[in-house]
Amino acid sequence: MFDGLREVAQQLRADRAVRQLLSTCKRLRSERGEANSLVIGHDVVKRLQRLDDAQRLLFFLALARDFSPNPAEVLTAAQAYAAQPGARTLDALTRAAEPPRQELFRRINRAQGGTAAIVALRRELLGLLKAHPELQAVEADLLHLLSSWFNAGFLQMEQVSWRSSAELLEKIIQHEAVHAIEGWGDLRRRLQPDRRCFAFFHPQLPGEPLIFVEVALLAEMPAAIGALIDPKTEPLAPDRYRVAAFYSISNCQPGLRGVSLGNFLIKRVAQQLQRELPRVRKFCTLSPIPGFAGWLSRIQQAPASLDGDAAKRFAEQLQLLRSADAAQLKERDALVSAAPKLRDALTGLCAVYLTHESPADHGDPVARFHLDNGARLERINWAADLSAKGLRQSHGLMVNYLYDLEQVEAQHEKFVNGEVAFSRAVGAHL
Amino acid sequence: MFDGLREVAQQLRADRAVRQLLSTCKRLRSERGEANSLVIGHDVVKRLQRLDDAQRLLFFLALARDFSPNPAEVLTAAQAYAAQPGARTLDALTRAAEPPRQELFRRINRAQGGTAAIVALRRELLGLLKAHPELQAVEADLLHLLSSWFNAGFLQMEQVSWRSSAELLEKIIQHEAVHAIEGWGDLRRRLQPDRRCFAFFHPQLPGEPLIFVEVALLAEMPAAIGALIDPKTEPLAPDRYRVAAFYSISNCQPGLRGVSLGNFLIKRVAQQLQRELPRVRKFCTLSPIPGFAGWLSRIQQAPASLDGDAAKRFAEQLQLLRSADAAQLKERDALVSAAPKLRDALTGLCAVYLTHESPADHGDPVARFHLDNGARLERINWAADLSAKGLRQSHGLMVNYLYDLEQVEAQHEKFVNGEVAFSRAVGAHL
Amino acid sequence: MFDGLREVAQQLRADRAVRQLLSTCKRLRSERGEANSLVIGHDVVKRLQRLDDAQRLLFFLALARDFSPNPAEVLTAAQAYAAQPGARTLDALTRAAEPPRQELFRRINRAQGGTAAIVALRRELLGLLKAHPELQAVEADLLHLLSSWFNAGFLQMEQVSWRSSAELLEKIIQHEAVHAIEGWGDLRRRLQPDRRCFAFFHPQLPGEPLIFVEVALLAEMPAAIGALIDPKTEPLAPDRYRVAAFYSISNCQPGLRGVSLGNFLIKRVAQQLQRELPRVRKFCTLSPIPGFAGWLSRIQQAPASLDGDAAKRFAEQLQLLRSADAAQLKERDALVSAAPKLRDALTGLCAVYLTHESPADHGDPVARFHLDNGARLERINWAADLSAKGLRQSHGLMVNYLYDLEQVEAQHEKFVNGEVAFSRAVGAHL
Amino acid sequence: MFDGLREVAQQLRADRAVRQLLSTCKRLRSERGEANSLVIGHDVVKRLQRLDDAQRLLFFLALARDFSPNPAEVLTAAQAYAAQPGARTLDALTRAAEPPRQELFRRINRAQGGTAAIVALRRELLGLLKAHPELQAVEADLLHLLSSWFNAGFLQMEQVSWRSSAELLEKIIQHEAVHAIEGWGDLRRRLQPDRRCFAFFHPQLPGEPLIFVEVALLAEMPAAIGALIDPKTEPLAPDRYRVAAFYSISNCQPGLRGVSLGNFLIKRVAQQLQRELPRVRKFCTLSPIPGFAGWLSRIQQAPASLDGDAAKRFAEQLQLLRSADAAQLKERDALVSAAPKLRDALTGLCAVYLTHESPADHGDPVARFHLDNGARLERINWAADLSAKGLRQSHGLMVNYLYDLEQVEAQHEKFVNGEVAFSRAVGAHL
């Protein structure tokens, strides 16, 4: 029996709704042919919608226990395959090793409302994993299947504009996660000709944006977020567009976490803008550094990868910073009027943070996302985000990542091997 | 090593194009993250298009040999899972047991033109299986993935009409497999108000019909195909529609053979027509019996499932038929003027063929398709298809299958258990 | 010379821009064939956009003076036609009598942006008529042409919903003239399933609503406006819809004043709702009575059309009202707590106002609109609009007009002859 | 009474259907307000459809007699206007002078099916004019109104392609008037990437092409029609497109004869192709010369506009031609093998025909159309159309007209004044 799931049977005896749901699932799973599976699948979808939190947890636990491969059968099949590798033994092995819940999910997916039901299911599951690590096996199957169904080939990119439906725009307002949109007037500015917004959609979830990115068309690479999202600024004249700056990217479907969407979206948007606006040559971001302040408060010594001089310089800068009033550096006025020395120290420490920590799992998540996409660390901007969140997360610093479409492949390759691409300007801080 | 594939290495040494393709495939397969996979995937798509037949075979053989699970690793993982079943050991097992080519195909699928490339690949592979059974393992993976990607939830049904594009209609003419369409005039009649045509499309193959069905709206269940496809008949007045007869269903993508499409299409069409035309109450087919004449020429004695009297009657009818001039029964004039006794004998034998042989794998494929969908054998029609093909395949007999949407679930269930649903009229022939 | 336009020549000498515009207009007007007319027409459109108010007035005056028929030529042509009526003389007459500016406007209309330019022109002209009655001849030509171009056959009706573009919805918010929409939240309620909105569009003014109507789907004929436009009410369940109430109709294009749009819109909406919702049987309005309070304050005696008893009753009610504190009747609290006698008197006087004054030009404009459309005066509602505007205009009274599609023709006919259709309920007040 | 229409009254007494139709027309015409006019208008549309030829003629005659302006009233109004020109007298004049049938037609146009009914009406009327010149007055009104309703601003241009509906393509096949399309295979070639087709549509006649033009994208200006319409030719590679040649333009609506459509279509197509294909710099036609052979057989002497030497040369060429076997010049083989001298003579005479006769009403209609559009006579092509029709009409000659969008305005201007624009190459033949 799957470890840690002994008490499930007992709970199931007490809950008729989950028991019936599981029995319907088994029927759906074992249905030969597909004649009835749409009807049974739709029944499963409706039963899932009626579960409360406790029942849903019980359902997941039962999926982990009862819809996993049979260990003895797998072992037998693996032995046969090892003895004589071939199409026949492999077929038997594949059947034995695939968790039966995968086929269950596939059949639910085919039914009306099935895709949405599975995305919703995973959203709930993700919230339970910490307390119930034994559900990780179910999560692995869901992520595997959703990655297949929501692959880039099946996604449709659409521009979101003031001509889009109010229904869609309402969702954009609600899901903007980076720089909140304060109502329709605020949104309207972000959809003027010098601002663009693009979203991915999936044919099975019509009208539901999966992820969207906001772009500013500018004369120069932006050094601060304020002007980009200020609803009172005048639109730039189209003949002055030279830079496309991605200033916000937001996922709309928590149930699709970990499914690669943002990377493809940024590149498709860049390609489309290149075609439409040949004079726009530079594609960059203006990004937050959400992990910087936390790292800075924890760090005790220079990262091991810093060599002699650089390590010494790092220690000095850290010292300078520690002697300053740290709380002050999270206040707008104090920050703006900080001494040049302090400013240099903070920027230098941030350069180290981004170039030396990013390859590691605990590195800054935004940095890791763009660097893994093949972008280059282009410029660190002082006093770039003076909102409460910006001051708290990164002492107001923001960073531009540069997407040079000719370089992204090579730079991604390097990043995978632990090397971070950065500009001379960033190098000067090191 | 995968059995029977020893000589592949040698051939590969001689073919640089396939070697390079495989090396690109390995790179695509192992690419960490997805940053570069669209570009590499598109490279694979282009390389695949340039292969000749011999190279493609070599590629498939290499896929079977080099992209199968490692037997030793699978065995180790299966042992660990058997020793301690849990999320961690299951994860390791799943990774070890899944053929690496599955992830390869998934990544190709994401690239531009990838879906079409994989459908084309499988079309070629299906033609090679007989001579190369060791490729069955590759085929299993392709079918598995295509069934997932082309599941009913992702398919869009559209009506094909005289308002459809000439580009699409040209494909309909070309793919009609049951009753050939002789040019645009012929097609035009089949798109008049009392004839309907519906097709499935997939978002990744825009403009490419996957399968389509042709429907005739009639006052009565049809007893012969001639009038249904005669371009010179007048359209029936809409207030007289009572029966919707599916008279032709054609697959357009050989690379999707075995992916369940027809069943879903028929039921979605029936639902849509029910909504649009509430007075149409009967949904049936007028179907060929492609296996009947062949079976009849081979059969020596009554099927074992026939009991005493019925078996005796069967023997007499078979005797009567054998004494007739068999060749004559494939000629139009002879058939039309056949003696009532002969006619009864042929119809009776056909009733036995359809009711007793259908559940078996060697049963009539069209009968198996509709009965497995949950349809009922409704009526056997004499002199119903007097075309050369109809006379040759089934001595001019055709059959109506009835889709009673209330009954399809239960009847499908029964058929899975070997029981064929039939009407009293058919029962009378037994 | 056209009367009252002698000083135009002098002003023209001083204004080069208008002189050039007029010369371009003459060139456009006299252009033989149409080869160049699109280019010249577009030039005129751009010149028109650059005019300031004084220049535009001058332009209109010049149109009245220089683009009117030549009196001597018309007279000659009319004499010839009178002497020998026939195709040839009629042709000459038609050419002589048609004001040359009509052909000028037609040619402007053909150019890019021409239709919008002419609608804008008329909007400006309407504002000048009072001070410059000599421009009435230009206005007559514009109304004639716009009525032809914006005729019902060329208009497209579209439903406005939460799925419409933000661009369109923003215009709806801005143009709502009857019950103001307070922002997007307010609009959202008016687009829930039990509220509908429909607008007319013209192919030449894409994205520009011409007129729109708002409809509430209700269980009963509404007696007050408050609940209909309250954003906090819950939508009614669709199975309870029985009545469609038109509660607001707003023109969006001042330049199309007098072009018949509202009548067609109401009837097309009623037809569409009838098809979609067969259980909705009653189509009515909930309408303001904008002229009632004003009439009431001016009226001295019963309308002549009232006979003995009715006239006497009228005088008593008027007397009662005059003795009440009139200002009080425009205050919310006072009105709500008014004595039954006062309430009856006010309602009775309103019934007389609507039934006896409507046929006259000075009658209530909303009443005239609906009665002329063939609607019936169905019910007068006490305390139905307690907004400041409602109290001021009509002491809080509102009225339902009933559109019985079977009766509208006959009732329109009667109204044209001075007879107002009303229900028994209304009759009881008389 | 309108001249020549005295016997109409008598006929009307005998025909109840026409009498009722006219009475409905009068009711529609005089309907105050527009409440009922849609219903009555639709009734008129249906009654019109039921008329036979004799009844339709009677209806037209009644329209001429009973729906013309009243001579006495017009005269009075003209006298008042002449005495005191002003807005009021002008308004009275305009009302008196406009034939009442114009308002009748406008109201029919608003009803469902009305626009199509009026276009159909005019098609019939055009066929009756020769025998019934008194109907010219009705025709003038119809042309006036249709020109207003079908003005360029209201027309929508759409590309016709292999992706267009079969319904539309079928109409294109049917209406091609210049170079007949022989079935779907022939059409398919004309819609390959190097052939384009564009049509005008009107919102009131959805799905009905009004006029369409066929364009060939070529490397050079074409000298013969054969290759352009040969279904077996290979499409040209897109990077070689340099010339867009209009090789066929066909009206689809006989009822819109005389409404200017072709001129606008050609220019809009040229503009669109310029945007899409910036390397295409030359826009020309390859056109028939339908009037040449007829003119040649009738001509006795040089046109008066030819001066001394040219007139002499003309006489010699004409002499040479007359001495040749004229019939022979309409035979394919004879023409192809004609002596250089004869060839020069024929081409020279054609150059005179096109340059000297085109400004006159009896000039070649195709030449007049393009020259009036502002095109230039660019090249006369020998043996360019060897079809029976081409040989018969113009001894196989065809001509290229060049549309230089920079020049069309000026050249149109000149043509209006009797001057034909031609190239040096054409000049060399003169």
Burial B390-419 (b: 16+ CB within 10 A, else e): bbebbbbbbbbbbbbeeebeebbbbbbeee
Q: At A338, which amino acid appears?
A: A
| Marked catalytic residue, from D37, D68, D248, D287 | D287
Q: What is the mean pLDDT of chain A?
A: 91
Model pLDDT, residue B219: 96
Residues 6+ apart with CB under 8 A from D73: D96
Q: Which chains touch D (3 or more CB pairs under 8 A)?
A: B, C
Q: Which residues of D touch C1 (CB under 8 A)?
A: 85
**Which amino acid does the sequence have at B170?**
E
- pLDDT, tens digit, 9 for 90 and up, residues B79-117: 999 999 988 999 999 999 999 999 999 999 988 899 999
Residues of D in contact with C140 (CB under 8 A): 87, 90-91, 94
Which position among A179, A202, A356, A370 bears the catalytic label?
Answer: A370
Instruction: Name the residue facing B165 among D165, D183, D184 (closest C-beta).
Output: D165
- Name the maximum alpha-carbon separation found in chain D: 75
Chains B and D touch (3+ CB pairs under 8 A): yes
Burial class (CB within 10 angstroms; exposed 0-12, middle 13-18, buried 19+) of D44: buried
Rounded to whole angstroms, the Cα distance separating D186 from D173 reads 9
What are the tens digits of pLDDT across the range D297-333? 999 888 888 888 889 999 999 999 888 776 678 888 8
- Give the minimum alpha-carbon distance from C189 to chain A in angstroms, rounded to a whole number: 13
Of A35-39, A400-404, B298-302, the least confident: A35-39
Asked if A370 is an active-site residue, the reply is yes
Q: Is the sign of the CA dihedral B31, B36, B41, B44 positive or negative?
A: negative
Quick check: helix, strand or coil at residue D395?
coil
Q: How far apart are the C-alpha atoms of A277 and A6, rounded to whole Å?
A: 62
Which of A16-20, A67-71, C33-37 is predicted with the least confidence, judged by mean pLDDT? C33-37
**Residues in a beta bridge with D157:** D200
Q: What percent of chain D has pLDDT over 70?
A: 98
Three-state SS at D165 = strand
Phi, psi of C376 (to 5 degrees): -115, 140
Q: Rounded mean pLDDT of D340-347? A: 92
Q: Residue D292 — very low, low, confident or very high, per pLDDT cuts 50/70/90? A: very high
Please name which of B187, B280, B186, B271 lies closest in space to residue B236, comparing C-alpha atoms: B280
Q: What is the pLDDT of residues C240-252, one digit of tens each?
A: 999 999 999 999 9
3-state secondary structure of C198: strand
| Least-confidence region, from A28-32, B190-194, C279-283 | A28-32
Q: Is B57 on the interface with A (CB under 8 A)?
A: no
pLDDT band at residue B325 under the 50/70/90 scheme: confident
Q: Name the residue in chain A with its Cα closest to that of C183.
A: A184
Pick the catalytic residue: D132, D179, D370, D429? D370
Instruction: Return the partners of chain A (3 or more C-beta pairs < 8 Å).
Output: B, C
Is the CB of A148 inside 8 Å of chain B's CB atoms? Answer: yes
Three-state secondary structure of chain B: CCCCCCCHHHHHHHCHHHHHHHHHHHHHHHCCCCCCHHHHHHHHHHHHHCCCHHHHHHHHHHHHHHCCCCHHHHHHHHHHHHHCCCHHHHHHHHHHHCCHHHHHHHHHHHCCCHHHHHHHHHHHHHHHCCCCHHHHHHHHHHHHHHHHHCCHHHCEEEEECCCCEHHHHHHHHHHCCCCCCCHHHHHHHCCCCCEEEEEEECCCCCCCCCEEEEEEEECCCCCCCHHHHCCCCCCCCHHHCCEEEEEEEEECCHHHCCCCCHHHHHHHHHHHHHHHCCCCCEEEECECCCCHHHHHHHCCCCCCCCCHHHHHHHHHHHHHHHHCCCHHHHCHHHHHCCCHHHHHHHHHHHHHHHHHHCCCCCCCHHHHHHHHCCCEEEEEECCCCCCHHHHHHHCCCEEEEECCCCCHHHHHHHHHCCCCCECHHHHCCC
H-type helices in D230-355, by residue range?
A: 262-276, 292-298, 308-323, 332-336, 340-352
Q: How confident is the model at residue D124 (pLDDT cuts 50, 70, 90)?
A: very high
> What pLDDT band is residue D417 in, cutting at 50, 70 and 90?
confident
C75, C91, C153 member nearest D140 (Cβ): C91
The owner of tokens 């049938």 is: D101
Task: Say if B97 is an interface residue toward chain A (CB within 8 Å).
Answer: yes
- Cα C376 from chain centroid? 19
Backbone angles phi, psi at D280, to 5 degrees: -80, 115
Lowest mean pLDDT: which of B312-326, B343-357, B394-408, C57-71?
A: B312-326
Q: CA-CA distance, A222 to A217, in Å (whole number)?
A: 10
Report residue C293's pLDDT band, with 50, 70 and 90 as the boundaries.
very high
- What pLDDT shows up at residue B300? 87
Which whole number is the average pLDDT over C103-107? 94
Mean pLDDT along residues C223-234: 91
Residue D395 falls in which region: left (phi positive, over 0), alpha (psi -120 to 50) or beta: left
Is residue A3's pLDDT more than 80? no
> Which residue among A167, A184, A188 sits closest to C162, beta carbon to beta carbon?
A167
Residue of A37, A68, A250, A287 marked active site: A287
B206 and D CB contact within 8 Å: no
| Ramachandran quadrant class, C340 (left: phi over 0; alpha: psi -120 to 50; beta: rest) | alpha
Nearest to C74 among D34, D78, D203 (CB): D78
How far is residue B135's CA from residue B147's CA, in Å, rounded to a whole number? 18
Average pLDDT over residues A377-402: 95
Q: How many CB pairs under 8 A join C and D?
A: 199
For residue C217, pLDDT beyond 90: yes
**From C37, C287, C358, C394, the catalytic residue:** C287
CA dist C335 and C327 (Å) reads 10
As for the ipTM of the complex, it is 0.85
Res. C280: pLDDT tops 70: yes
* Encoded amino acid at A219, one letter: A
- Asked if the C-beta of C157 comes within 8 angstroms of chain D's C-beta atoms, the answer is no
Q: Per the structure block, which two tokens stand in for B146? A: 């295509």
Compute the nearest-CA separation of A37 from chain B (Å): 9
Q: Lowest mean pLDDT of A322-336, B76-90, D353-367, name the range.
A: A322-336
Contact B228, B178 (CB under 8 A): no
Measure B73 CA to nearest chain A CA, in Å.
9
- Please tell me what DSSP assigns to residue D407: T
Condensed to tens digits (0 to 9), the pLDDT of residues B9-51 reads 888 888 999 999 999 999 999 887 666 788 899 999 999 999 9
Q: Which residues on chain B are in Cβ contact (under 8 Å) with D183?
A: 184
Instruction: Determine the 3-state secondary structure of D238 from DSSP.
Output: helix
From chain A, pick out residues whose CB is under 8 angstroms from the CB of B373: 33, 35
Q: What is the DSSP letter of C274?
A: H
Which pLDDT band, with edges at 50, 70 and 90, does C367 fall under?
very high
Return the structure tokens found at B193.
Answer: 């108000």
The DSSP code sequence of C105-152 is HHHHHHSTTHHHHHHHHHHHHHHHTTT-GGGHHHHHHHHHHHHHHT-G
Q: Is the pLDDT of residue A202 over 70?
A: yes
Q: Is a pLDDT exceeding 80 seen at residue D6?
A: no
Q: Tokens 């007049």 correspond to what residue? A: D368
CB–CB contact A167 C166 (8 Å): no
pLDDT at A109: 92
Does B183 contact D184 at a Cβ distance shorter than 8 Å? yes
Pairwise CB contact (< 8 Å): D166 & B167: no
E-strand ranges in D126-231 read 156-159, 195-201, 211-218
Q: Which residue has better confidence, B409 or D19?
A: D19
The answer to whether the CB of C230 falls within 8 A of the CB of C238 is no
Q: How far apart are CA C36 and CA A50, in angstroms?
A: 70
Answer whether residue B2 shows pLDDT above 70: no
Q: What is the pLDDT of residue B34?
A: 64
Flag whether pLDDT at C33 surpasses 80: no
Question: Among A3-7, C74-78, C307-311, C354-358, which stretch is predicted with the lowest mean pLDDT?
Answer: A3-7
Q: Which two tokens stand for residue D200?
A: 């005008």
Query: Closest Cα to residue D341, out of D319, D326, D320, D313?
Result: D320
Mean pLDDT over all residues of chain D?
91
Q: Among positive and negative, which fits the CA dihedral B154, B155, B158, B160? A: positive
The verdict on A206 touching C (C-beta cutoff 8 Å) is: no
Interface of B with A in 391-410 (CB under 8 A): 408-409
pLDDT in tens, B143-152: 999 998 998 7
Contact assessment for residue C304 and residue C311, using Cβ atoms and an 8 Å cutoff: no
D250 is catalytic: no
Which pLDDT score is estimated for D246? 97
Are D34 and C264 inside 8 Å of each other by CB? yes
Q: B227 with B233: CB under 8 angstroms?
A: yes
**What is the per-residue pLDDT for D33?**
61
For the range A222-226, what are the long-range contacts, defined as Cβ-Cβ under 8 Å and sequence gap of 24 or more?
A: A222/A247, A222/A286, A222/A400, A223/A379, A223/A381, A223/A384, A224/A286, A224/A381, A224/A383, A224/A384, A224/A385, A224/A398, A225/A179, A225/A286, A225/A384, A225/A385, A225/A387, A225/A390, A225/A398, A226/A385, A226/A386
Residue of D66, D81, D91 best to disrupt the C interface, most CBs of C under 10 A: D81
| Cα gap B158→C198, rounded to integer Å | 28
- Tally Cβ neighbours within 10 Å of residue C183: 12
CA angle A258, A260, A266 (to 5 degrees): 135
What would the mean pLDDT of C343-350 be, rounded to a whole number? Answer: 94
Mean pLDDT of D244-260: 93
- Report the residue from A166, A183, A191 with minimal CB separation from C169: A166
Q: For residue C302, report the phi and psi dihedrals to the nearest 5 degrees.
A: -60, 145
Please judge whether D184 and B188 are an interchain contact, meaning their C-beta atoms are less than 8 angstroms apart. no
- For residue D242, pLDDT beyond 90: yes
Contact D169/B at CB under 8 A: yes
CA distance D410 to D117: 39
**What global pTM score does this model have?**
0.87
Q: What is the pLDDT of residue D79?
A: 95
Provide the shortest C-alpha distance from residue B59 to chain A (in Å).
Answer: 16
Is B79's Cβ below 8 Å from some Cβ in A?
yes
Q: Say whether pLDDT at D265 is over 80.
A: yes
pLDDT of res. C336? 85
A165 close to C (CB below 8 A):
yes
